Amino acid sequence: MAIDNDRLLELANEYGTPLYVYDGDLIEKRYNDLINYISWPKLKILYAMKANYNLSVLKLIYSLGGWLDTVSPAEILLAKKVGFKPENILYTANNMTDSEVDDVQESGVLLNIGSLSRLERYGKKYQGSKVCIRFNPDVVAGAHKKIQTGGKLTKFGVLLEDVDTVKSIADTYNLRVIGLHEHTGSGIDDTNAVFQSIRNLLSIAGRDNFPDLEFIDFGGGFQVPYHPEETRIDYGKPGQKIGTIFSDYCSEYGRELEMYFEPGKFIVAESGYLLVTVNTLKDNRGRLIAGTNSGFPQLIRPMFYEAYHHIANISNCDGKHKNYDVCGNICETGDRFAEKRAISEIREGDVLSIENAGAYCYAMGGVYNLRAMPAEVFVYKNEIKSARKRLTNQELVDTIIGECEWLQNL
């Protein structure tokens, strides 16, 4: 464990709970790991900022030389504020609106378009522009059905068999297709599925179809172990194989293209901890319920994806293990971080650490029941920095009434 339990407990005491803590050193390590795994000289890592857009994380990725995968105009604004250049950002939203497309085009960021009708509208308005096309790799993989983005049941990307239509739209409007993209899913534990998606995309990426290519983007989806019994994939060998597949493809294409990957989870998931305090214990005829001061709006993955997050009682690491339902403070029965989970004995006042909380946790958060999101703290090279404060109740209420003048005098 990178940040040990004693340190987490100190942070909980200093900043209060609920509290998110991020380990910047681990983010840096994972970023470098990936670069070392994938053997391709022109490799670019476009961090999927939707996973965790805390400024401290973005600044670190920027300082490491990373690029960004973005999905909304506000993400682009934030990215630019950090210093990312438009040419180092790709825009891969789905169901884009016309005004959103205009904003992104104006910002100088390359659009990655995943539907024929949007491509047609884009071509009409922005004739002669550069563009990237998102294809559906036709491979179904990912840790849960809600995070599988390939195959005909998903809304993402253009079907591979529609490649001729893509070409004809591009020809009609003189569009320069400089990139092709696919993203198969998140938390893919089957590297064969990854190779298959890569091959499927490359099968339509020949020079006769797309003569102007500068890069191919194979998305994110690198697996991170969440459960202690889940094995960590060593991406060394798969990374070499990807290099070989791509090298063969580039030889045939006649030019060495850039290879992009867009990891989110792999870079940040393991760096994060959500620290919560147990304030209410119940023994419901033998079913032990530990009630905490956080809830699913602050970390939704268990409720949304049945995701496992390891939970440690950092106030009593050596206690006797008992099975607990670890619940939140939200008025919903499903508001649970874990069910019948073996955890060292919990007492009221104990602090629990919910691990692997760096990706799609704070970022997917909200203020349901009007409880403000936790503060965030960033630990890097032995320095501890506050990375975002928690709104006070008054500030939270002010965000609701602030803009509606006609309601303010009620």
Ligand X SMILES: Cc1ncc(COP(=O)(O)O)c(C=O)c1O
Half-sphere exposure of 201 (CA within 13 A, CB side): 30
Q: Does 92 bind ligand X (CB under 6 A)?
A: yes
Name which of 48, 129, 128, 43 is nearest 91 in CA terms.
48
Residue 114 interacting with ligand X (CB under 6 A):
no
d(CA 259, CA 243): 9
| CA count, 13 A, side-chain hemisphere, 23 | 22
268 CB-side CA count, 13 A: 29
Total residues binding ligand X (CB under 6 A) = 18
In the bound complex, what is the minimum distance in angstroms from residue 269's beta carbon to ligand X? 8
Measure the CA–CA gap between 290 and 324, rounded to whole angstroms.
6
Q: Which of 132, 250, 331, 361 is catalytic?
A: 331
219: contact with ligand X by CB under 6 A: yes
**How far lies 245's CA from each of 26, 199, 200, in Å?**
29, 8, 12
Q: Which of 11, 51, 68, 201 touches ligand X by CB under 6 A?
A: 51
d(CA 121, CA 175): 12
Place of tokens 């659009």: 111
In the shown chain, the binding pattern of residues 357 to 376 toward ligand X, with x for contact by CB under 6 A and - for none, equals --x-----------------
Nearer to ligand X, 185 or 295 (CB): 185
Q: How far is the CB of 158 from ligand X (least distance, A)?
A: 14
CA 90 to chain centre: 15
Q: How far is the CB of 149 from ligand X (least distance, A)?
A: 6
Residue from 137, 179, 221, 239 in contact with ligand X (CB under 6 A): 221
**Could you tell me the smallest distance in angstroms from the CB atom of residue 121 to ligand X?**
21
Distance CA 335, CA 330 (A): 6
Q: Does 162 bind ligand X (CB under 6 A)?
A: no
Quick check: is 331 catalytic? yes
Continuous H helices in 116-212 = 116-125, 163-172, 191-203
Using DSSP's 3-state secondary structure scheme, residue 404 falls into coil
Residues 233-272 that bind ligand X (CB under 6 A): 262-266
DSSP 217-252: E----B----STTSPPP--HHHHHHHHHHHHHHHHH
Distance separating alpha carbons of residues 84 and 103, to the nearest angstrom? 17
Determine, following the binding rule CB under 6 A, whether residue 69 of this chain makes contact with ligand X: yes
| Nearer residue to ligand X within complex by CB, 148 or 292 | 148
Calpha distance 178→198 (Å, rounded): 17
Q: Given the complex with ligand X, which of 290 and 359 has the nearer CB atom?
A: 359
| Binding status of residue 122 toward ligand X by CB under 6 A | no
**Among 53, 67, 84, 222, which residue interacts with ligand X (rule: CB under 6 A)?**
222
Number of Cβ atoms within 10 Å of the Cβ of 255: 10
Name the amino acid, one letter, at 135: F
Do residues 146 and 181 lie in contact, with contact meaning Cβ atoms separated by under 8 Å? no
* Residue 149 or 329 having the CB closest to ligand X: 149
- Return the residues of window 282-311 that contact ligand X according to CB under 6 A: none
184-203 footprint of ligand X as x/- string (CB under 6 A): --xx----------------
The residue among 220 and 295 lying less far from ligand X, judged by its C-beta, is 220
Region binding ligand X by CB under 6 A among candidate stretches 101-109, 115-123, 214-222, 362-370:
214-222
- Which segment (181-189, 198-206, 303-311, 388-396) binds ligand X by CB under 6 A? 181-189
Residue 157 touches ligand X, criterion: CB under 6 A: no
* Residue numbers annotated as active site: 331
Q: List interacting residues with ligand X (CB under 6 A).
A: 48, 51, 69, 92, 149, 183, 186-187, 219-222, 262-266, 359
